């Protein structure tokens, strides 16, 4: 388990290399109004600016009190005060907190770094970020990211329950627990989180299946094991099963409208973070 400072440092480093998060305009529709000013025009209560009337503006948007002072029409704009909640969750299973090679970080560590980097970006962009299933609700501001970091390291609960408010869920796991299990879980979430990203983090060993000879394979964290007489003979079957699993995941997200981001721990983390950012930014547009 890595210390919080390391997690923050790695995540900040990653976030610095990414462009600022900008959720799509359409995505703004699904957010609920919040208290934080967004420093741009939008729906809110505080005055932002007067702007000359344009043909596309509706007539009821004209601020008549200002317009009465001159010959031109003005539209009064308020500061955008909306934010959306993005909730993160990393799989606490021992199999996820596992690395195929001593030099590599575990899948969970990578996933947490990338998710925190994304959360940092989103926090800077004014979104509400938080842990899914934690005691604390999502929050905004500078402390939000460090609070999320603490929550991520403090082992989230195993069972997922739908948050009280609407939010986007980012679930990091290897999703090896079977598609049925995950379908059920996501179905529970979709009462409030009708949008979400499945961040599939895998280890290269799981793709290569480099075992040869007589091998006993253990499931990390459990007593489950399996003896293979000739492991190389099982490789083809395993790889086809892996492909089936990926297809099942795609099918699952297709049904629920969620997105899937796949990343292997031997890839650059920046790539994973960018893909995740893109998915979070864009899936609102995709679904409308």
Partner 1 sequence: MTIGPLLFLAPLALTALLALPIVWWVLRATPPSPKHAELPSLRLLDGVEALDETPTRTPWWILLLRLAAAALVILGLALPVYAPGAGPTEPEHGPVLVVLDDGWASAARWSELRNAASATLDGAPADTAAHLLLTAPRTLNIDPSQRLSRIELDSRIKSLDPRPWPVDRAGALARLKESGLQPGRIVWLSDGLDPDSGDPFGEALREIAPLTIYAAPPRGPAAITGLLGSASGVEVSLYRAKADSEASHFVSALTLDGSALATATADFSAGSTEAIARFDLPPAALARIARFQVTGTSNAGTVWLWDSAARSRRIGLVSGDRTAQPLLSDMHYIRRALAPFSTIHEGDLISLIEGDPDAIILTDIGQIDLEAQTALIAWIEAGGALIRFAGPRLAARGDELVPTPLRRASRAIGGALTWEDPQPLGPFPTTSPFAGLAVPDNVTIRQQVLARPGPDLARRTWARLADGSPLVTADKRGAGMLVLFHVTAGPDWSDLPYSGVFVDMLRRAIAAGKGEAAAATDGLYVPTRTLNGYGQLEPPGADAAPLQADALADLVPSQTHPPGLYQGPSGARAVNIGATQQPPAMTNWPAGARLLGDSEAQTERLGGWLLSGAALLLLIDLLVALGVAGRLRRFQPQSAAAAIVLLALTLGTTGLAEAQSSTDKATEAALGLRLAYIETGDPDIDRTMRAGLEGLSLTLFNRSSVEPDKPHAVDPETDALDVYPLIFLTLPDTPAPLSPLAISRLNAYMRSGGAIFIDTRRGGMIGATDTFEGLNTALAGLDTPPLTPVPRDHVLSRSFYLLDDFPGRYSGRRLWIEETGSAKQTERRGDGVSRLFVGDADYLAAWAIDSNRRPLFSVDGGETQREMASRFGVNLVIYVLTGNYKEDQVHIPALLDRLGEDNPAGSRRREVIP
Binding residues (CB under 8 A) for partner 1: these are 93, 95-96, 98, 107, 174, 176-178, 202-203, 205-206, 209, 211-220, 224-231, 233-234, 237-238, 241-242, 245
Residue 3 vs 229, nearer CB to partner 1: 229
Residue 136 vs 247, nearer CB to partner 1: 247
Nearest approach, Cβ of residue 229 and partner 1 (Å): 3
- Number of neighbouring beta carbons within 10 Å of residue 159: 8
Residue 66 vs 245, nearer CB to partner 1: 245
Please give the helix or strand (H or E) that residue 252 lies within, else none: helix 231-256
Query: What does the alpha-carbon distance between residue 9 and residue 15 come to, in Å, rounded to a whole number?
Result: 10
Nearest approach, Cβ of residue 233 and partner 1 (Å): 7
Nearest approach, Cβ of residue 218 and partner 1 (Å): 5
Query: What does the alpha-carbon distance between residue 205 and residue 170 come to, in Å, rounded to a whole number?
Result: 24
Nearest approach, Cβ of residue 227 and partner 1 (Å): 6
Residue 16 vs 218, nearer CB to partner 1: 218
Residue 94 vs 285, nearer CB to partner 1: 94
Structure tokens at 95: 């199999």
Nearest approach, Cβ of residue 201 and partner 1 (Å): 11
Residue 51 vs 207, nearer CB to partner 1: 207
> Judging by DSSP bridges, how do beta strands 128-131 and 85-90 pair with one another?
parallel
Query: Are 199 and 114 spatial neighbours (Cβ–Cβ below 8 Å)?
Result: yes
Nearest approach, Cβ of residue 213 and partner 1 (Å): 3
Residue 62 vs 234, nearer CB to partner 1: 234
Residue 108 vs 274, nearer CB to partner 1: 108
- Number of neighbouring beta carbons within 10 Å of residue 141: 12
Nearest approach, Cβ of residue 231 and partner 1 (Å): 7
Q: Where do runs of H (alpha helix) occur along 170-230?
A: 179-189, 204-208
Structure tokens at 106: 């575990």
* Segment 282-287 long-range contacts (CB within 8 Å, at least 24 positions apart): 282/24, 283/195, 283/197, 283/257, 283/258, 283/259, 284/23, 284/24, 284/26, 284/27, 284/29, 284/30, 284/195, 285/24, 285/26, 285/27, 286/259, 287/195, 287/257
Query: What does the alpha-carbon distance between residue 203 and residue 176 come to, in Å, rounded to a whole number?
Result: 12
Nearest approach, Cβ of residue 219 and partner 1 (Å): 5
């Amino acid at each position: 388990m890595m210390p919080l400072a390391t997690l923050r440092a790695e995540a900040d480093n990653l976030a610095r290399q990414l462009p600022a998060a900008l959720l799509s305009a359409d995505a703004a529709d699904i957010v609920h109004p919040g208290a934080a000013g967004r420093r741009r025009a939008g729906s809110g209560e505080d005055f932002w600016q007067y702007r000359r009337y344009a043909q596309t503006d509706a007539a009821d948007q004209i601020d008549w009190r200002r317009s009465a002072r001159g010959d031109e029409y003005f539209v009064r704009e308020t500061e955008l005060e909306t934010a959306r909640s993005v909730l993160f969750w990393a799989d606490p299973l021992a199999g996820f907190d596992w690395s195929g090679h001593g030099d590599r970080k575990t899948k969970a560590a990578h996933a947490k770094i990338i998710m925190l980097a994304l959360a940092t970006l989103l926090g800077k962009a004014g979104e509400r970020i938080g842990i899914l299933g934690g005691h604390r609700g999502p929050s905004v501001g500078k402390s939000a990211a460090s609070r999320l970091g603490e929550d991520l390291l403090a082992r989230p609960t195993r069972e997922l329950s739908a948050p009280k408010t609407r939010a986007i869920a980012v679930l990091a796991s290897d999703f090896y627990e079977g598609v049925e299990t995950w379908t059920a879980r996501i179905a529970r979430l979709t009462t409030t989180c009708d949008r979400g990203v499945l961040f599939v983090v895998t280890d290269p060993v799981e793709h290569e299946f480099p075992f040869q000879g007589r091998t006993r394979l253990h499931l990390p964290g459990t007593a489950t094991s399996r003896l293979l007489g000739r492991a190389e003979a099982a490789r083809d079957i395993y790889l086809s099963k892996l492909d089936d699993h990926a297809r099942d995941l795609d099918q699952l997200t297709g049904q629920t409208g969620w997105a899937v981001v796949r990343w292997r721990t031997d890839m650059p983390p920046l790539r994973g973070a960018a893909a995740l950012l893109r998915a979070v930014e864009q899936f609102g547009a995709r679904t409308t």
